[in-house]
Amino acid sequence: MIPAKPLPQNLAQRYAGWRATTYSENRGWYRRLATEGQRPLAMVIACCDSRVNVTSIFGAEQGEFFIHRNIANLVPPFAPDGDHHGTSAAVEYAVQVLHVPHLIVLGHSNCGGVQSCYDMCAGQAPDLEENATFVGRWMEILRPGFDALSDGAEADRRTAFEHQAVRISLENLMTFPFIAAAVEEGDLALHGLWTDIGEGGLMMYDGLTDRFTALG
């Protein structure tokens, strides 16, 4: 038997509230969304962190963003090895099938995934070196960025490592032949962002200068 339980009462109540208000007031719009299919204006790759509210910071509605979330918003390099690649599958669908014109990698402050990679690279988390930890092996994608960090206060180095997570993901996206081709054709634009949860700030990666600068 699969041990699936009924939804807790508080969540069931929240759903009932949404159905009675937001949904019922916009029924026609939801039905159009269902029948007309999706034409998202961008794909966003963000961290699983519950504090990163991807749609909220852009004031986006359903149907506008094709969102993939994983630990530390990482994209692995192109690896057609027959294995299970969730992030690569999402990227492939967004670019090849939905033809999204923009692909945004959204990093964030206080990222627990990046912190664990930082500890692992600093030799302070030997358990993350084990093959049995999925987080440890997933964070290998970011490991090359550790050596690129300049000296300084640990908090600054952690932020710089979060920026590296965005930068390395953008680099890895370009190893997918269909992405490189779409970028070359001008059909797809890549973007790198990093959001400061506490301050509500947004920084943007500039490929020309290889730096992050504040937006707005």
Residues that bind Zn ion in the complex, under the rule CB under 5 A:
47, 49, 111, 113
With respect to Zn ion, which residue has the nearer C-beta, 95 or 111?
A: 111
Active site residues: 47, 49, 51, 108, 111
Nearest distance from C-beta of residue 177 to Zn ion, angstroms: 28
Q: Give the separation between CA 214 and CA 216, rounded to whole angstroms.
A: 7
With respect to Zn ion, which residue has the nearer C-beta, 92 or 140?
A: 140
| Closest to 190 in 3D by CA, of 104, 116, 107 | 104
With respect to Zn ion, which residue has the nearer C-beta, 103 or 111?
A: 111
> For residue 134, what are the CA distances in angstroms to 107, 127, 129?
20, 11, 10
Nearest distance from C-beta of residue 32 to Zn ion, angstroms: 34
Place of tokens 């990666």: 205
> For residue 85, what are the CA distances in angstroms to 70, 90, 128, 135, 162?
12, 9, 21, 15, 22
Nearest distance from C-beta of residue 36 to Zn ion, angstroms: 33
| Closest to 138 in 3D by CA, of 54, 205, 48, 24 | 48
